Amino acid sequence: MRGLSVADFWLILGSIRWTVALAVSALAIGSVIALVIAVARTSRLPWLRLLARVYIELVQGTPLLGVLFLLYFGAPMLLGIEVNAFTAAVVAFSLSAGAFLGDIWRGSIESVAPGQWEAGACVGLRRIQVMRYVVWPQAARVAIAPTVSYLVQLIKNTSLAALVGIVELTRSGQVVAGSTLAHLPVFCAVAVCYFVICYPLARLALSIEGRMHAARAH
Amino acid sequence: MPLVRIDSVEKHFGDNHVLRGVSTNVAKGDIIALIGRSGSGKSTLLRCVNGLEKISAGSIVVDGVDVQSPATDLALLRQRVGMVFQSFNLFPHLSASGNVALAPVLTKKASRDEAHTLAKQMLERVGLGQKLDAMPSQLSGGQQQRVAIARALAMSPQLMLFDEATSALDPELVGEVLRVMEDLARDGMTMMVVTHEMAFARRVASEVLFMNQGCIWERGSPERMFENPSTPEFQQFVQSIV
């Protein structure tokens, strides 16, 4: 055992980059999946809607940690390929983000009045144009707040990556606490780090939402 | 050749038989007023004309285009058939001029300048030249509906469909919308108008169709219809309105 030093806190601070890297990668890839899922869920083709629904329910009904373990430990056994921890984590979080954001965005798209689709169609726009220029801009306003609150969830969920050995924020806390036994100050520091990342995001969501409302009323 | 040919049209919503063998023609320049009680099928008929509703049997041909044919590109057809809704359905995220310019920009590849000029012209035509940059939420119902009319006119349609365009308006705002519609009629626009405004139908329509139970129950010139209703159902309807 050794005492807690300033270097330990630098280690914890430095590990934030992995938390951010995981969250940003998962958000980027997950958004692409979510977009496909949201479009499929609001499609006119019943089989496509069903497919997307099955995906959402499957992912939402499985624990994220289970998926992560399946990818990290299961892939070598099942498929004979080694998956490094970061890749496994990014894939697991992306699949999850795709389902949750996909469902959030589906709801946002469906919240746009049906009359908007008709009005777009009646000036001669194609369905894809109505989507792009009429429905999505309105759905985006609705989606922003829940999307950012999901991002906050995602950032906190990246702590699961500690369990496959990625030294992100939580894992670095474990490492430091393990060697110093100073659990209380260390995990307080970790908690403060999460809060410092997440709180401004939550505020940002609110202010964007407020500005959108103001723009609309103006 | 008529602009719109509606032939033996049937429409079912599940068990509900909404249109029962409706046939009529609309010639260029005609102003057809569709009147009748709610549930008589007049709005459904209008929505079938631009393919918003699929008909169950019969045929509708608009400007030579078979509306129900799977080969028909409805988007192209609707560029020539404007529609105005009871609930305006303006795009709330776009300004008045943005609402008017959207379709010309996307479908006719109009430049930003052309589209802006067009939007200005159209909004001036409906008396809203001062409201180019106003958002829909800042406009009264009557103004919103006039923007909706300008939006439809921007595509230079051959035919305009009005689905109870004034029914959602406060009484004092009805006049401004009817005046715009009358101007259009005077300019020779072909129009099919579902309306409860009997005075308007009488003054502006070239033909009045009274719909009842999914059929065209009685039809004729407005003078003949309102002075001399021949069926008891239409007589009753006219009396119930005045």
Rounded mean pLDDT, B108-120: 92
Cα–Cα dist B42/B211, whole Å: 6
Look at residue A114 in the predicted model and tell me its pLDDT.
Answer: 94
Per this entry, what is the length of chain A?
218
- Look at residue A52 and tell me if it is in a domain: yes
| Choice among A185-189, A203-207, B44-48, B227-231 with the minimum mean pLDDT | A203-207
- Look at residue A1 and tell me if it is in a domain: no
- Cα A9 to Cα A176, A181, B17, distances in angstroms: 9, 14, 75
CB pair distance less than 8 Å for A118 and B137: no
CB pair distance less than 8 Å for A113 and B85: no
Interface residues on B facing A, Cβ-Cβ cutoff 8 A: 50, 52, 74-83, 85, 87, 89-93, 102-103, 106-107, 135, 137-138, 148, 151-152, 154-155
Write out residues 85-114 of A within 8 Å (CB-CB) of B.
113
Structure tokens at B184: 């259009």
**Cβ atoms B212, B235 nearer than 8 A:** no
Q: Which domain holds residue A185?
A: 6-217
- Look at residue A134 and tell me if it is in a domain: yes
**Cβ atoms B83, B45 nearer than 8 A:** no
Tell me the sheet residues that pair with B19.
B11
Element (H, E) at B65: strand B65-66
With a pLDDT cut of 70, the percent of chain B lying above it is: 100
Rounded mean pLDDT, B122-148: 96
Look up the ipTM and state it.
0.92
* CATH code (residue A57): 1.10.3720.10
Look at residue A218 in the predicted model and tell me its pLDDT.
Answer: 45
User: In chain A, which residues have their Cβ closer than 8 Å to the Cβ of B82?
Assistant: 122-123
Rounded mean pLDDT, B15-33: 96
What DSSP assignment string belongs to B4-48?
A: EEEEEEEEEETTEEEEEEEEEEE-TT-EEEEEE-TTSSHHHHHHH
pLDDT at B240 over 90: no
Task: List, run by run, the mean pLDDT of 10-residue segments along chain A (218 residues).
Answer: 86 94 97 97 95 96 95 90 93 97 96 96 96 95 90 94 92 93 94 95 84 63
Closest CA to A159 of A148, A172, A147, A144: A172
CB pair distance less than 8 Å for B93 and A125: no
Rounded mean pLDDT, B76-86: 96
Closest CA to B216 of B82, B26, B66, B76: B26
- Look at residue A57 and tell me if it is in a domain: yes
**Phi, psi for B167 (deg, rounded to 5):** -70, -25
Q: Kindly indicate the confidence band of residue B147, based on its pLDDT and cuts at 50, 70 and 90.
A: very high
Look at residue A166 in the predicted model and tell me its pLDDT.
Answer: 92
Look at residue B165 in the predicted model and tell me its pLDDT.
Answer: 96
With a pLDDT cut of 90, the percent of chain B lying above it is: 95
pTM, two decimals, is 0.86
- Look at residue A137 and tell me if it is in a domain: yes
User: In chain A, which residues have their Cβ closer than 8 Å to the Cβ of B89?
Assistant: 113, 115-116, 118-119
Look at residue A215 in the predicted model and tell me its pLDDT.
Answer: 62
**Phi, psi for B197 (deg, rounded to 5):** -90, 90
pLDDT at B47 over 50: yes
Chain centroid to Cα A118, Å, comes to: 33
Tell me the sheet residues that pair with B161.
B83, B192
**A17-32 b/e (C-beta count within 10 Å ≥ 16 → b):** ebbebbbebbbebbbe
Identity (one letter) of the amino acid at A187?
F
What DSSP assignment string belongs to B99-154?
A: HHHHHHHHHS---HHHHHHHHHHHHHHTT-TT-TT--GGGS-HHHHHHHHHHHHHT
Under the phi-then-psi rule, with left for phi > 0, alpha for psi from -120 to 50, and beta for the rest, what region is A4? beta
Chain centroid to Cα B66, Å, comes to: 19
CB pair distance less than 8 Å for A124 and B78: yes
Residue B241 or residue B101, greater confidence:
B101
Number of domains making up chain A: 1
Cα–Cα dist A66/A55, whole Å: 16
**Average pLDDT score, chain B:** 95
